[in-house]
Amino acid sequence: MSTINSNVLCLPQNRVGRDFVVGDTGGAYDLLLQSMRSAGFEPSRDRIFSVGHLLAGECSLTDCIRFLRMPSVFAVRTNSEQDLLDLFSDGPPDEESIRALNELPFHDMGWLAKVGYQQRMQLVSAMRMLPVAISIGNGVARTGFVHDSVPEGKGWGDFLGGLQEDAENCLMAAMRGIGRSAMIVEGVERMFVCYTPDWAGTERPANAVSVAPGSALYLVEDMGT
C-alpha cells in the first residue's frame, strides 16, 4: 500500500521482487523497454523508479504517458516537468503562447505547438500526479528518490515534511539543486538522484547515489554510495 501527500510518495519495501532506478531517459522509451526485457522485468513483482527528465521531443509524448501509467513505474518530478506545470497553472495557455516556445530555450519543448490540445492536457495531467520525492521503508534503512537533493541542514524526514507544506527551500533543492546540501543526509540510508554536469567538481551528500543518464536500468540493491 502506498501513501501520497501531494509532493511526497511513501512506499513499503519490496519484499517479493526487485527495485530498479533509471536516470534521464532522453525520451528513448524503446531502449528503456529493451532494458526491461533484458532484465527480465516482472511488472507484478518488480518496480522502476525514475529520477530524471521524462520528455525529449514530440515523439516521446505518447510513450511517456504510457510509461507513467504502468502500475510498476514511479517517477519524481524534475524542474522541466514543474516548468511545464507552471506554464499551465492558470489554465491552458493560448496558441500564440504555445507557439512562442519555439523561440525560447524552454527545455526544447517547442514541439508542444505541434501536438493537439487533448495530448497536451493528458501530458499535464500525468505530470501533476508526480511526487517531488519518493521514500521507501521506515527508519534508518529508508531509501529515497529525488531529482537533485535536499536543502542544506535538512534531514530526510524534515525534508519530506517541508515538501508536504510546499516549503520553497525544499522544492527548490529537490528539483533545481538551489541550496542543496553537501553533507550526509540523516534519516535515509541512500538517496538516489539524477546525475547532471552540475555535480562535477562539487561536493554532494555522502549517501547520495548519482544515476547516470540513459535508458539503462540499475538494480537498487547493487548501487552503493
pLDDT tens for the chain, 225 residues long, are: 444 458 999 999 999 999 999 999 888 899 999 999 999 999 999 999 999 998 876 667 888 899 999 999 999 999 988 988 888 888 888 888 777 766 666 666 667 777 888 888 898 999 999 999 999 997 666 899 999 999 999 999 999 999 999 999 999 999 998 988 888 999 999 999 997 665 554 567 889 999 999 999 999 998 875
HSE (side-chain half, CA atoms, 13 Å) at 122: 14
Give every CB contact of residue 91 below 8 A, 6+ residues apart in sequence. Answer: none
- Smallest CA-to-CA distance from 77 within 117, 134, 140, 30 is with 134
- Smallest CA-to-CA distance from 52 within 219, 221, 225, 215 is with 215
Q: Which domains does the chain have, with CATH numbers?
A: 17-128 (3.60.21.10)
> Distance between CA 110 and CA 103 in Å, rounded?
8
> Distance between CA 212 and CA 85 in Å, rounded?
25
> Distance between CA 7 and CA 189 in Å, rounded?
21
Using CB atoms within 10 A of its CB, is residue 104 exposed (0-12), middle (13-18) or buried (19+)?
exposed
- Smallest CA-to-CA distance from 8 within 187, 164, 177, 180 is with 164
* Strand pairing category for 19-22 and 8-11: unpaired
Whole-prediction pTM: 0.90
The DSSP bridge partners found for residue 180 are 151
Summarised one tens digit per residue, pLDDT across range 65-113 is 999 999 999 999 999 889 888 888 888 888 887 777 666 666 666 677 7
